[in-house]
Amino acid sequence: MAEHTGKGLVLVVEDERPIADLLRLYLSRDGFGVHVEYDGAAGLAAARRLKPVACVLDIALPGVDGTEVCRRLREAGDWTPVLFLTARDDEVDRVVGLELGADDYVTKPFSPRELVARVKAVLRRTAGPPDPSEAPVRLGPVTLHPARRTVTVAGAPVALTQTEFDLLAHLMRRPGRVFTREELLASVWGYAAHGGTRTVDVHVAQVRAKLGDAAGLLRTVRGVGYAATDG
């Protein structure tokens, strides 16, 4: 079943067997161990038992759906990177609207190569222990603690996904600097835009929602992109 290799184990939860088989093939060809489950409850149990380095979750699953699997992991304090497989645009809206704590998503039909590239990108971003010597970054009421990978607003902790943290950190480290969506995609996600800059908007919206009263810290610069500013 699960085989561990140097790159770590990826958990795939997908009830469509041809897609699951394709993901197993491509991920293992790239050096990952792969464990596949075909329904949400088994997927959740496997995530808890096997401690994968990343989870690829289909949204529409029998029983417990993918969004619920992710929500339960996050609820339990598990911030393993999660990539969703979505079948339709309205599912993308659910990923966004429910603030599920996803790190990325791909819409079916997708290229298995692209999915593997995204898994690797999220792992690159979250690899290695944080540098304990890196000083906190403050902007307005928001403080970013790189050493702990945590964020507080007026002293109260905010639960961000790895991707949300990296996005906020990228913007806050250069306050006032305006980044295009393409720049953010390349720097934060680690891959070139395939016309897929919507994912940037989605994550900015999620971070703003979590910052609450401090949401204005992330400013939209119309026609250009985003900047972190203090008022």
Interacting residue ranges for Ca ion, rule: CB under 5 A:
15, 58, 60
DSSP letter (8 states) at residue 38: S
For residue 131, the minimal CB distance to Ca ion (Å) is 40
Least distance CB 63 / Ca ion (angstroms): 11
Query: At closest approach, how far in Å is the CB of 27 from Ca ion?
Result: 18
Question: Is 59 or 160 the residue whose CB approaches Ca ion more closely?
Answer: 59
Least separation in angstroms between CB 189 and Ca ion: 24
Nearer to Ca ion, 14 or 166 (CB): 14
β-pairing verdict for 9-13 and 54-58? parallel
Q: How far apart are CA 191 and CA 189, in angstroms?
A: 6
d(CA 227, CA 170): 10
3 state SS for 53-74? CEEEEECCCCCCCHHHHHHHHH
Q: Least Å distance between CB 60 and Ca ion?
A: 4
Question: What are the φ/ψ torsions at residue 127 (nearest 5 degrees)?
Answer: -75, 150
Nearest residue (CB) to Ca ion, 56 versus 160: 56
Helix axes 112-126, 162-172, angle to 10 degrees: 60
Q: Is 15 or 30 the residue whose CB approaches Ca ion more closely?
A: 15
CB closest to Ca ion, residue no: 60
- Token readout for 190 is 């680690």
Cβ proximity to Ca ion: between 24 and 125 the closer is 24
